[in-house]
Amino acid sequence: MSPDLSMPRTLAADLSRYADMAPSPVRLSGWVHRRRRLSGLAFLLVRDRSGNAQVVVKDPAVLAELDGLTEETTVDVVGTTSANPQAPGGVEIIDPALTPLTTPAATSPVEVWRPRISAGLPTMLDSAAVTWRHPRQKAKWQLAAASMHGFRRTLESQSFTEIQTPKLVQSATESGANVFAVDYFGKQAYLAQSPQFYKQMCVGIFERVFEVGPVFRAEPHDTVRHLAEYVSLDVELGFIADHRDVAATLRDVLAGMVETIYERAAGAVDLLGVDVPTVPASLPTVHFQKALEIVGAPQDEPDLAPAHERALGQWARDQHGSDFLVVEGYPLAKRAFYTSPQPDDSRWSNSFDLLFRGLELVTGGQRLHRYDDYVAALAQRGETLGPYEEYLQTFRHGMPPHGGFAIGLERWTARLIEAENIREVTLFPRDLHRLAP
Amino acid sequence: MSPDLSMPRTLAADLSRYADMAPSPVRLSGWVHRRRRLSGLAFLLVRDRSGNAQVVVKDPAVLAELDGLTEETTVDVVGTTSANPQAPGGVEIIDPALTPLTTPAATSPVEVWRPRISAGLPTMLDSAAVTWRHPRQKAKWQLAAASMHGFRRTLESQSFTEIQTPKLVQSATESGANVFAVDYFGKQAYLAQSPQFYKQMCVGIFERVFEVGPVFRAEPHDTVRHLAEYVSLDVELGFIADHRDVAATLRDVLAGMVETIYERAAGAVDLLGVDVPTVPASLPTVHFQKALEIVGAPQDEPDLAPAHERALGQWARDQHGSDFLVVEGYPLAKRAFYTSPQPDDSRWSNSFDLLFRGLELVTGGQRLHRYDDYVAALAQRGETLGPYEEYLQTFRHGMPPHGGFAIGLERWTARLIEAENIREVTLFPRDLHRLAP
């Protein structure tokens, strides 16, 4: 039997509209989420992009058909609405005719119908195309998608221009390490570790730019925090006074992302019980030196250890009631060569890290904007101009004071749901051992 | 002299607000776009992201300063507003104090201040970071940015989910040719030629998905139409009747892109004199066989030649008053192996090309959705399952009838402005010979 495609499709979530109406014919399309067979009766849950619908099967011929339709088979269901307070949305479908759209689905190592996936992470990742169908899994990506939307919307409302910059580059962006090499028509090219240089060039064009795109790190360590490819939410803006203007933009972006999560992924928030942070009107900010003091670390400590970051997260919560803390002024020597020094004391830098609940989430800051300063900064680090030469030409042509930041999309989502492993929130993760699916 | 940063910055485009007000102090920040020196007087055009502002310099000391500020130097200007109907926005700045933000800019091979860039394309591309500052050049990207916005907005309003899929893949997407190889931790990986397989997998998860991201083609030909890396606007949707549902979505997307161009890039449309197309409520559609007949080509012709496409563009304009024409039913043997055949005659396919003013802009169609059909399709082409095996597993787990399309962002923008070379609309193009900047 062919599905009656002249009949418009109804989404599961829209069935609730029929709760107070006379029984009506409807057509559902979706996946066999779960069959529950009782004697002389079966409940079929049909899953579509909007949720689940309950279908009650009594006709023996249809019951026999249903026995052959394994979970995850796609199916068309034509039936009649019937109010039932027990069913999702208060409406179920009775007297259905079923039309499988494919042959019965093979058994998946991941059981999508269970309240929680019981498989281990490697199995989940191997079967990602099925794993992500699970409502709890799907909800994670809905948080990510809403975050991207909020990121863009906030920046577009502040006259930022979206850019798309090349991922195939002539020289490594940040340093020679951890970079993937590409055979580029017989020459050597690299995959961009960040759009850093390009977004800076684009500040010279559009003043304010953002990009959402992949970045690549040949990360040789197998950790729960690192990926070989991830999505970077990049921002760069010109005509700033200093890095605090950058941090203010970061605040607005985070507030926009949180707002959009409530607007567009409220269901995901509920399902996963996400403790969505409140973004304060202004982010509490401490200098690196003060941060060392707060955590009782020696004043010559060059960086914050994870334990320090956790302690600072607690301090921000106690002192400012904030999930976020900006630590500014990191030692210049520990930051990328393009970082602007603190004007009154060049041991420190006009850069910052944003801690979210005691974990580093974002790095940002003011960049150098004068050609001579770049030449001096590279010389001081014992680096040659060579690989940066082409990029540095931009700074001969009038670059305003500028700065920016980058948020790792997967890291942000992982923090939101307190994932143990960043791979849980990545659609198809890439790492030292994994290149498929 | 340091700029008075406590004074808020005014954008050039906002100066018009002062036309009917008493003279007021303002601060501008931007680039020295052009200086025009007369005797005892100079006009300085300051360019910022919003447009140009005119500054009148009379003070001999400031005139002397201005002589040293070459075009493209960034500068802070504090002065007083003065109504002048001749000035941009009807307001100019008088009695200015100038503060350069950088040392004077080096001479650029591209003159940004001229009404049109006189340099040839290779020079423009070599100096892309400066070339793109030219208002006519910047306008091209504003069309692209508005188009991306319209693409996403249309799809989000139809419950599509934005995805981000890996660009590092284990096997070539479309075929072994024209693929970039990457050294992936000592193993061989490739750069994705399209998100084709991933967007199909994601239809199994979200039903309707889109992605905006880079794709990579190791295109060994040096043509005005091809890039080694470009931005692909990808769409895939499930539970379709056939490819016409896909073409209907394409129509909505194009209409949304055009709408957003008017909303967000009207200035660019005017400046470049863009002949923005009208997207008809329904796209005129002809079958491939009929298309051959229209252009008087033999009925056994396996593809449309460029001259045929041009003739069909003219036909669509004459017969339907449309800049767009969908040609459906292309010979199955000429389409990718995942293409769905035409149900009543498998010589043809459920796929289409969209012609925009007589040039192919988009390819789309219905895909196979049954595992066995993939196995058969590959066998018929004499291909082994091997490289596709992992991807094809998805089709064992219940994939609905689905289809999609991809629009090349640069190709779309190039068509809009009738660019002779696709590199003119690409921020930092990549091709056989170009890997920088």
Contact between A428 and B198 using a beta-carbon 8 Å cutoff: yes
Residue of A nearest to B265 (CA): A161
Mean pLDDT lowest for which of A2-16, A315-329, B127-141?
A2-16
Decide if pLDDT at B112 tops 70: yes
Phi/psi of residue A214, each to 5°?
-75, 145
Query: Is the CB of B74 less than 8 angstroms away from the CB of A400?
Result: yes
Contacts of A38 (CB under 8 A, 6+ apart): none
pLDDT mean over A111-126: 95
Interchain contact, A49 vs B204, CB within 8 Å? no
Question: What is the model's pLDDT at position A6?
Answer: 74
Confidence at residue B219, expressed as pLDDT on a 0 to 100 scale: 85
Residues B312 and B334 sit within 8 Å (Cβ to Cβ): no
Domain spans in chain A, listed from the N-terminal domain onward: 12-100, 128-425
Per-residue pLDDT at B364 exceeds 60: yes
CB pairs under 8 A between A and B: 249
Out of A164-173, A289-298, B133-142, which region has the weakest mean confidence (pLDDT)? Answer: A164-173
Q: Which chain B residue is nearest to residue A104, measuring alpha carbons?
A: B398
List of chain B residues whose C-beta atoms are within 8 Å of the C-beta of residue A7: none
Q: What is the pLDDT of residue B278?
A: 97
* Nearest CB partner across the interface for A72, out of B29, B48, B398: B398
| Residue among A6, A34, A49, A425 with most chain B CBs within 10 A, to mutate | A49
What homologous superfamily does CATH list for A128-425?
Bira Bifunctional Protein; Domain 2 (3.30.930.10)
Q: How many CA atoms lie within 13 A of A177 on its CB side?
A: 3
Q: Are the Cβ atoms of B180 and A181 closer than 8 angstroms?
A: no
Confidence tier at B390 by pLDDT (50, 70, 90): confident
Residue in B with minimal Cα distance to A178 = B185
Q: Which of B132, B170, B427 is nearest residue A436 as measured by Cβ atoms?
A: B170
Residue B236 pLDDT greater than 70, yes or no: yes
| pLDDT at position A165 over 60 | yes
The domain defined by A12-100 folds into OB fold (Dihydrolipoamide Acetyltransferase, E2P) (2.40.50)
pLDDT score of A414: 97
pLDDT band at A1 (very low <50, low <70, confident <90, very high): very low
Contact yes or no for A101 and B401 at CB 8 A: yes
Residue-level pLDDT at A172: 73
**What percentage of chain B carries pLDDT values higher than 90?**
92
Least confident piece of the model among A417-431, B22-36, B169-183, B220-234 = B169-183
Which residues in chain B have Cβ-Cβ distances shorter than 8 Å to A144? 164
* Chain A residues lying within 8 Å of B48, measured CB to CB: 207, 239
Query: Going by DSSP bridges, is the β-strand pair A25-38/A41-48 parallel, antiparallel, or unpaired?
Result: antiparallel
B327 contacts B353 by C-beta, under 8 angstroms: yes
Name the residue facing B369 among A102, A138, A163 (closest C-beta).
Answer: A102
Residue B307: what are its φ and ψ, rounded to 5°? Answer: -65, -35
ipTM of the complex: 0.97
Who contacts A151 (Cβ-Cβ below 8 Å, separation ≥6)? Answer: A210, A212, A233, A253, A256, A257, A407
Range B51-66 average pLDDT: 97
pLDDT confidence bin for B1, thresholds 50/70/90: very low
Residue A237: closest C-alpha in chain B: B49
- Between β-strands A187-191 and A181-184, what pairing exists: parallel, antiparallel or unpaired? antiparallel
In chain B, the percentage of residues whose pLDDT exceeds 70 is 98
- Range with the lowest mean pLDDT among A2-16, A239-253, A410-424? A2-16
pTM to 2 decimals? Answer: 0.97
Nearest to residue B352, comparing CAs of B200, B243, B230? B243
pLDDT reading at B291 higher than 90: yes
Residue in A212, A234, A288 with CA at minimum distance from that of residue A403? A234
The overall average pLDDT reported for chain A is: 95
Contact A149 B162 (CB under 8 A): yes
Residue A205's closest chain B neighbor by CA? B133
Q: Which of B32, B102, B401 sits opposite A369 (nearest CB)?
A: B102
Using CB atoms, pick whichever of B5, B156, B184 lies closest to residue A435.
B184
**Of the candidates B22, B142, B54, the residue with the CA atom closest to the CA atom of residue B425:** B142
Identity of residue B310? R
How much is the pLDDT for B19?
Answer: 95
- Going by C-alpha positions, the residue among B84, B35, B32 that lies closest to residue B63 is B35
Question: Model confidence over B145-183: pLDDT tens digits?
Answer: 999 999 999 999 999 999 999 999 998 766 667 999 999
